[in-house]
Amino acid sequence: MPPEALIGYDVPTPLPDTPSTAAAANCPAFAVQGTIIEGGLLVALYLHHAVADIQGLGKIIEIMSDANGKPRGLNDEVLRADAELQSTARSRLSGVWGVKASPDAHAKYSASPPAPETSQLTGKEIGISCVLGFNIEIIEQTKEMINTRYHDYYDEQTIHISAFDCLAGILWKALPGDYFGNALVHAVAWSRILELGKPYELSALAHQAKLVRLAVARITEPLVESKIATINPMYDVSKASISNRTFDTNLVITSWADLPTSEEEAGLGLGLGAPEWGRKIGRENKGYGCIVLPVKREGGIWEVQVTLTKEIMAKMMEDEGLMKFVRWVA
């Protein structure tokens, strides 16, 4: 990015929520920015979705934090050679040699623009971001009760609900009935408004958590291989559209729960200790959705960063069923 793109006065970081495809300078494949703040250093990392997902970003953080790694000079030639090598290795590991790209399965990555979606957001709404601290103990207890219900009552031994499934189901139910909720590309689940509107009883949460678990289970290796085969030939990842989701419509629940958090894995080799917290930072608040942040088991808190319009956020905060699981809101 050019130097002028790194200048920001009203926010900690100038990295945009939705990088522009119109200007290549505003749509980097990878960017790192450090900002000195009171009490420490705020490090912002941006990785284009066509390069890697959150697991790939976690691996980059681990590599940057490796104290045993030997520093080396990086230039355009080295980066291009590395990119070609990694692309070849990724193809072999995923078995995509011989796998054909499927534009129908991955419309967001096709050359032709996707059909416009019906959105209830006009783009003029003012977004607001809050961090909800969920009580891990209550989440774990609810998960165990849900699994007991399925295994003992329904004899569904193949269904095992994780803590994330449970938390995602709770967040899904918290949205008011006039707000759409789904996920795109990676895992898609649907539920009737009548189901989402039921009280926070165990049977209702079990139903939503099961939908999340089954949606994740539908992501098969052939689907992943087809996606990689679609993106691999592209010289410029910005041509793969700006995202695998639409930024002005639909709720997306994203899990960052497995990001590294220890000093050894995520200290970035700066000698400042382990990161105190992780957040999605931006200046526009247009990427509406929920991000499940890395677990803080020592404090008994599981943070979720929620970005919605002010009106919908206010309704969410008034939901007594949701607030039973929440310890605090920041």
Instruction: Say if CB 166 and CB 205 are below 8 A apart.
Output: yes
Max Cα-Cα span within the chain = 61
Q: Which CATH number fits domain 1-330: 2.102.10.10, 3.40.50.720, 3.40.50.300, 3.30.559.10?
A: 3.30.559.10
CA distances from 326 to 39, 234, 290, 330 (A): 27, 44, 14, 11
**One-letter amino acid for residue 308 of the chain:** L
**Which pLDDT tens digit goes with each residue over 147-189?**
887 766 666 666 778 888 888 888 876 655 443 332 233 566 6
Q: Which residues of the chain, if any, have pLDDT below 50?
A: 1-12, 107-122, 177-185, 242-249
Residues forming beta bridges with residue 131, ordered by sequence position = 305
* Total residue length of the chain: 330
Question: pTM for the complete prediction?
Answer: 0.62
For residue 124 the two structure tokens come to 């003029």
List the chain domain ranges: 1-330
Helix (H, G, I), strand (E, B) or coil at 100: coil
**One-letter amino acid for residue 160 of the chain:** H
Helix (H, G, I), strand (E, B) or coil at 36: strand
What's the confidence (pLDDT) of residue 28? 65
- Burial-class residue 64 by CB neighbours within 10 Å (0-12, 13-18, 19+): middle
Q: Which of 112, 119, 131, 129 is nearest to 17 (CA)?
A: 129
> From CA 247, how far away is CA 121, in angstroms rounded?
10
Give φ, ψ of 156 to 5 degrees. -100, 80
Phi-psi region of 250 (alpha: psi -120 to 50; beta: other; left: phi over 0): left
Instruction: Say if CB 325 and CB 139 are below 8 A apart.
Output: yes
Instruction: Say if CB 121 and CB 248 are below 8 A apart.
Output: yes
Helix (H, G, I), strand (E, B) or coil at 219: coil
